[in-house]
Amino acid sequence: MSKVEDVKAKVEAGKSKLVPGLVQEALDAGDAPQAILAAMIDAMSVVGEKFSKGEIFVPEMLIAAKAMAKGVEVLKPSLAGDGSTSLGTCVIGTVAGDLHDIGKNLVSMMIESAGFDMVDLGVDVPAEKFVEAAKENANVKLVACSGLLTTTMPALKEAVATIKGSGLDVKVIVGGAPVTPEYAAEIGADAYAPDAGTAAVKAKEVIGA
Ligand code: B1M
């Protein structure tokens, strides 16, 4: 088994104590950080499929998520740039009712590496909180809203409507597994990205940088 395959297997099995060391070993062996990340994302897909089939339950999903988060910590310096040029501030969060944060954290990391200062509101963020944070923090140019559940897509819509209705001069980017470009356009978001890497590109584009 290659190092990358081993990382995937251990994330799937939720071995959070082993994953950081294995990620470091894979990096030391010359595996590309993007390939290691892709393997961890694949592992979470397998976990999701097993959950759908009733083969595993919420605690196992949570344990796998923790293992992935530990692995991402080790990968972070290799994936993100130094973020030294500030293009402005980006407020980011997962929308109300939604507790998924791995994708949001990756998106935050990549937008930061594109040159934004990040204000991370965490998960289960009510629409008004995005607006408050955009008002309270200096130089906010972008608000990024993540949603992972079909049941929280209306919360995504509400977040975009509330931010747009606030009169703030900020752009809004949305994404997350159930979100489509069509849905993003329909709810009035300024940009959509299917993954963290694209989110960083779109973040710059949408503010005209
Ligand atoms: Co949940 N969960 N979960 N879960 N969970 C999914 C999403 C699910 C698809 C699993 C399944 O059934 N196959 C399913 C949703 C089904 C649906 O809505 N159609 C599901 C469910 C049902 C649930 C619960 C309802 C289960 C229950 O309690 N019965 C519950 C809901 C809790 C809540 O939020 N209120 C729940 C709970 C959990 C845990 C807490 C146990 C845990 C999350 C822990 C955490 O995040 N800290 C969890 C996990 C781990 C998953 C899966 C297995 C993995 C998610 C993940 O981290 N993926 C997931 C199955 C899956 O995704 N295949 C699942 C890896 C991550 C890198 O990908 O988050 O998609 P992702 O992010 C991507 C893109 O989406 C995009 O970029 C990222 C990568 O490049 N992206 C953006 C994300 N945000 C973006 C924002 C952008 C742009 C791009 O711009 C702003």
pLDDT digits (tens, 9 = 90+) for 72-108: 999 988 887 666 678 999 999 999 999 999 999 999 9
Strand order in the sheet with 117-120: 117-120, 89-94, 140-146, 171-175, 191-192
Amino acid code (one letter) for 162? T
pLDDT of residue 198: 94
d(CA 200, CA 209): 12
Q: Which of 58, 63, 100 to mutate to test the pocket of ligand 1 (most atoms within 8 A of CB)?
A: 100
What's the topology of domain 89-206? Answer: Rossmann fold (3.40.50)
- E strand or H helix at 173, and its extent? strand 171-175
Nearest CA to ligand 1 atom 22: 149
pLDDT of residue 124: 98
Distance in Å from the first CA to the final CA of the chain: 43
pLDDT of residue 120: 98
Cα of 6 from ligand 1 centre, angstroms: 22
Nearest CA to ligand 1 atom 39: 62
Cα of 93 from ligand 1 centre, angstroms: 14
Write the DSSP symbol of residue 55.
S
- Tell me the pLDDT tens digit for each residue of 128-148: 999 999 999 999 999 999 999
Cα of 204 from ligand 1 centre, angstroms: 25
Smallest CA-to-CA distance from 16 within 34, 42, 43, 38 is with 43
Nearest CA to ligand 1 atom 6: 48
The residues that bridge with 143 in the sheet, in sequence order, are: 91, 172
pLDDT of residue 91: 98
Question: What residue spans define the domains of the chain?
Answer: 3-81, 89-206
Write the DSSP symbol of residue 95.
B
Give ∠ CA 147-59-110 in degrees, rounded to 5.
35
Cα of 84 from ligand 1 centre, angstroms: 31
Domain 3-81: give its CATH superfamily: Methionine synthase domain (1.10.1240.10)
pLDDT of residue 84: 65
Residue tagged 């299917």 (tokens): 194
Q: What CA–CA distances, in Å, run from 162 to 128, 168, 170?
A: 7, 10, 12
- Which tokens sit at 41? 């994302």
Residue ranges of the chain with per-residue pLDDT less than 50: none
Entry pTM: 0.95
pLDDT of residue 1: 81
Smallest CA-to-CA distance from 142 within 154, 133, 151 is with 133
pLDDT of residue 79: 82
Cα of 135 from ligand 1 centre, angstroms: 29
Instruction: Report the pocket of ligand 1 as residue ranges, CB < 6 Å.
Output: 41, 44-45, 47-48, 51-52, 58, 61-62, 65, 97-104, 106-107, 144-146, 148-151, 173-178, 193, 195-196, 199
Cα of 148 from ligand 1 centre, angstroms: 5
Residues in the chain, how many? 209
Note whether 3-81 and 89-206 share their fold.
no
Using the atom order of ligand 1, give the atom closest to the CA of residue 59.
41
d(CA 93, CA 100): 10
Nearest CA to ligand 1 atom 62: 45
